[in-house]
Homo-oligomer: A and B are copies of this chain.
């Protein structure tokens, strides 16, 4: 039961909106927040699939559905980050950061911020 699997991109995008909302949401809320221009039925279908996977629960409120997260964001991010790090960098965090920095994905300022985080974390 406990096996949280990786979500497909589209469902992840929706799940992120739910998580970041910090409370129960409606499909209208999701539609508003989405950058994509998916058809309503498309979004509803993704929501349904997320329920099937156990990532969301769904209760009816009048003619609308109310969705709420059943998997904790931290847990999901943790799992995905671990497997990402493992698959692409053989588990080397420094390797990942080096790649991001050398590839100019993160700036010197972001590295500074990261350094402060590390210094505080001890």
Contacts and interface: CB of A to CB of B under 8 A. Distances in A.
Interface residues of A, number: 39
Contact of A81 (B105, B108, B122): B105
Contacts of A106: 93
Identical chains in the assembly: 2
A121 B103 contact: no
B105 A111 contact: no
Given A78-B105, A94-B117, A108-B121, 18 more contacts: A16-B87, A16-B88, A77-B103, A78-B99, A78-B100, A78-B103, A81-B96, A82-B100, A85-B100, A93-B106, A93-B110, A93-B113, A94-B113, A101-B121, A108-B122, A111-B122, A115-B115, A115-B119
